[in-house]
Structures are given as C-alpha cells and as structure tokens.
Amino acid sequence: AIRVTQSPSSFSASTGDRVTITCRANQGISTFLAWYQQKPGKAPELLIFAASTLQNGVPSRFSGSGSGTDFTLTINYLQSEDFATYYCQQYYSYPWTFGQGTQVESK
Amino acid sequence: EVQLVESGGGLVKPGGTLRLSCTASGFIFGSYTMNWVRQAPGKGLEWVSSISSGGTYIYYADSVKGRFTISRDNARRSVDLQVSGMRAEDTSVYYCARGGSGYGAYPMDVWGQGTTVTVSS
C-alpha cells in the first residue's frame, strides 16, 4: 500500500496567517492527490483534487501544488472558519490511503 | 440537492454483524463509484471499500477484507456495507462517499453525515 505522510500533525496559527501543510507519498502518485477539510463532528469536505484543482465553491485562498511524491496545501490569509483538521488522500491506486491529518488551531 | 444518508449503525457485540446502508439522492446514482470511509474516535480517516458504478469492481482495505462486504442496488439508489466478525477496533463513524463517474480515478466529492458503529460486549 502507498504510504502518505502529512506534516505537521498540528500547529497554531492566527487569522490572516499564511499556512502550509505538506503531504509526501512513499512512491509516485502523479497528481492523484486530494485534500479534505474536516470540522469537529462533521463529515470531511473535498477542497482540492488532482493536486491543484479547487473544488467548486471552495474559496480561492486555498491552493494546492505538487506532483509525484511531494504535495502542498496552502491557505492564504487564514480565516476563522478555516480552523479545522486537514487530510490528504491518494487515489492513484487501491488501497486508497489518507495522511494522518493536520489540525490547525487558533493561536 | 445532492445528498447521501447513512443508516444502520448501532451497538454490536464482538463477533457480531451489522448492515450499514447509504441512500443517495440528487444525482444519477448508477453512474458513480461509491465508497465507505471510517473514522475511529479521535483518529484519522481510513478508506474501507469501493464499488464501481455497475458493481463489477470491488476493493477493500486489508483491515476489513474477508469480514466486510460492499454491495449496491442502483434501482434503489443505495450502497450497503455488511460488517461481520466485528472487533473493538471496528468502532468508528462510517461515512458513505461518492466517487467519480466514468473511467479514471476520482476523489470523494460528496459525503454523508456518517453512522456510528460501536463494538462492545
């Protein structure tokens, strides 16, 4: 199975900050990578797919980049509603695998 | 409105069986791959199983292979997950999620609200 490692596992930030989360796969997955946001008690929501394509309705302050094994989720000008846990997921091959998650907390 | 609604969760004893169901509305169900993803209390997301639009292709996580069975009924717009041989580590919120339509690899773009399964004696 492809292993997907996210970093950091958590950190504190303030509104207005620029935030970067990284995801690394242990083998090449082209751009078959998605990012999800999950808030407590809620289902995950798709933010970005194909490594860099914004899902409909997702604010443009979110962006993704990368291909192969290294990927990045960036949130420009963090808003209060962005405090949440973020997961990357590879869908290049089964079994699909998620990163362990990154919790973005308010400083 | 595109919607997925899960049901069937509950308390089950170790070794027991449960059938989870997910009913879809607002899209052409029979055109989409469907998936189950779970999340243990306080833990991350774990993909469990996928079934292709016509039910031909089925995949399972190693952790559930041989114990869980995914199936779908396109006429009823539903996808089920039969979970058997339950273990304490199967305790999770189980989410139904829509995959892609057509050929190719797609992420999960629509999720249900989840149904909670607790395995305990």
Is the CB of B47 less than 8 angstroms away from the CB of A100?
Answer: no
Inter-residue contact A105 to A11 (CB < 8 Å): yes
Q: Is the pLDDT assigned to residue B104 strictly greater than 90?
A: no
Instruction: Tell me if A87 and B45 make a contact (CB, 8 A cut-off).
Output: yes
Report the alpha-carbon distance of residue B93 to residue B58 in Å, rounded.
21
Question: Which of A44, A92, A101 comes nearest B111 by C-beta?
Answer: A44
Q: Could you report the per-residue pLDDT of B1-11, keeping only the tens digit for each?
A: 999 999 999 99
User: Which percentage of chain B shows pLDDT scores above 70?
Assistant: 100
pLDDT of residue B103: 76
Are residues A32 and B105, on separate chains, in Cβ contact within 8 Å?
Answer: yes
Write out pLDDT tens, residues B6-65. 999 999 999 999 999 999 999 999 999 999 999 999 999 999 999 999 999 999 999 999
What are the pLDDT digits (tens) for B63-102? 999 999 999 999 999 999 999 999 999 999 999 999 998 7
pLDDT at A12: 97
What pLDDT, on a 0 to 100 scale, did the predictor assign at position B102?
78
Name which of B62, B105, B113 is nearest A91 (Cβ-Cβ). B105
